[in-house]
Structure 1
Amino acid sequence: MTKPRILKTRVTHLEMTERPTQSVPTPVSFKLALMRATKISLPFYRFLYEQVGKPHHWSVHRRLGDDELKAIIHRNNVDIHVLYADGSPAGFFELVIDEEQAVTEILYFGLVPEFQGRGLAKFFLNEAILTAWMSSPQRVIIETNTLDSPRALQMYQRMGFKPVGFAEAEIEAWD
């Protein structure tokens, strides 16, 4: 078995402490549906996770067994929403709500590669942010790293997130 390739990345931690006042219009170039996936099936979650996360080397949920993954994503404080464009899954976001700390984390957010660069990202991120604020946190957090889309950090900041910390990390490549 070959040794996995390790990638070095710079992680930026961001937070938003006030509800956004701006709104982002719904793109008209697609028929869109945003649906909450209650008790999402493991194969469908794995499909979304791979489609969105593979180009960015997402690794946290990648090698979990079914029982481990189910125990994480089916918790009461995890909220997963899937964006459909013209009937096809176009992306997803996953929130983790920590009521005790009054924090909601946008743990995962992204679009399937075929839907990137087509005017959906800002709208979809706005929907994730608005959904995160529905749990009435004191702050909403998200992180990105240099393996994500090169436009991610800039978009998060334009949408109202402020960098609050940085870290260096090593991530196993998704080869």
Structure 2
Amino acid sequence: MPTLKTRVTHLEMTDRPTAAIPTPASYKLAIMRATKISLPFYRFLYEQVGKPHHWSVHRKLDDEALSAIIHRDNVEIHVLYVEGSPAGFFELVLDQERGVAEILYFGLVAEFQGLGLAKFFLNEAISTAWMSSPQKVIIETNTLDSPRALQMYQKMGFRPVSFAEAEIETWD
């Protein structure tokens, strides 16, 4: 399998943000928590959002392994709908013991990018993560993600804490 080299940036936020991002008024939006999300719907969202960025961790898991990960009690998946269509999702992993809320996955489907939704939706992910009262919220990005991702995360209050080099399997 071909691989791509990438630089991973680990970021964290240790203070709850005080600024709110207004809801874009030009669209009918809904964000719904998908409790016990169906595996086909999860795979659809994961591919639509992650394929351009070569997300690979959950891609090749069989149903049993994927279900064991995404249906844990400490995992939340929230889906953004725009005009009734699924437009993106975020996946949180809440680790109460370590006091960490991780935004494990965050992104928009390609056709909904560039419409002014990302900052609003990321703000919702951050707000939801802070609802579990963690000591910090963490997220990571890499050079295969949107070129604007790192900048947006930093503008929203995350700060880089470490870097790593990685090889990611390409998405066929």
TM-score interval, normalised by the smaller of the two chains? over 0.9
Instruction: For 1:60 and 1:20, locate their aligned partners in 2 and report how far apart those are by CA, in whole Å.
Output: 29
Q: Secondary structure at the match of 1:59?
A: coil
Percent identical pairs in the alignment equals: 81
How far 1:71 moved relative to its partner?
0.3
Instruction: For 2:85 and 2:91, locate their aligned partners in 1 and report how far apart those are by CA, in whole Å.
Output: 18
Q: Please identify runs of 4+ aligned residues in structure 1 that moved more than 6 A.
A: none
Instruction: For 1:47 and 1:5, locate their aligned partners in 2 and report how far apart those are by CA, in whole Å.
Output: 23
Instruction: For 1:71 and 1:38, locate their aligned partners in 2 and report how far apart those are by CA, in whole Å.
Output: 14
- Unmatched tracts of structure 2, length 5 or more: none
Instruction: For 1:107 and 1:95, locate their aligned partners in 2 and report how far apart those are by CA, in whole Å.
Output: 6
Deviations 1:71-117 (A, max 9, x none): 00000000000000000000000000000000000000000000000
Instruction: For 1:120 and 1:30, locate their aligned partners in 2 and report how far apart those are by CA, in whole Å.
Output: 10
2:13 aligned residue: 16
How far 1:144 moved relative to its partner?
0.1
Deviations 1:6-55 (A, max 9, x none): 00000000000000000000001110000000000000000000000000
Instruction: For 2:78 and 2:105, locate their aligned partners in 1 and report how far apart those are by CA, in whole Å.
Output: 10
2:111 aligned residue: 114
Q: Secondary structure at the match of 1:174?
A: coil
2:39 maps to which of 26, 38, 42: 42
Q: How many residues align?
A: 172
Question: How large is the RMSD of aligned CA atoms in angstroms?
Answer: 0.3
| TM-score computed with the length of structure 1 as normaliser | 0.98
Deviations 1:98-149 (A, max 9, x none): 0000000000000000000000000000000000000000000000000000
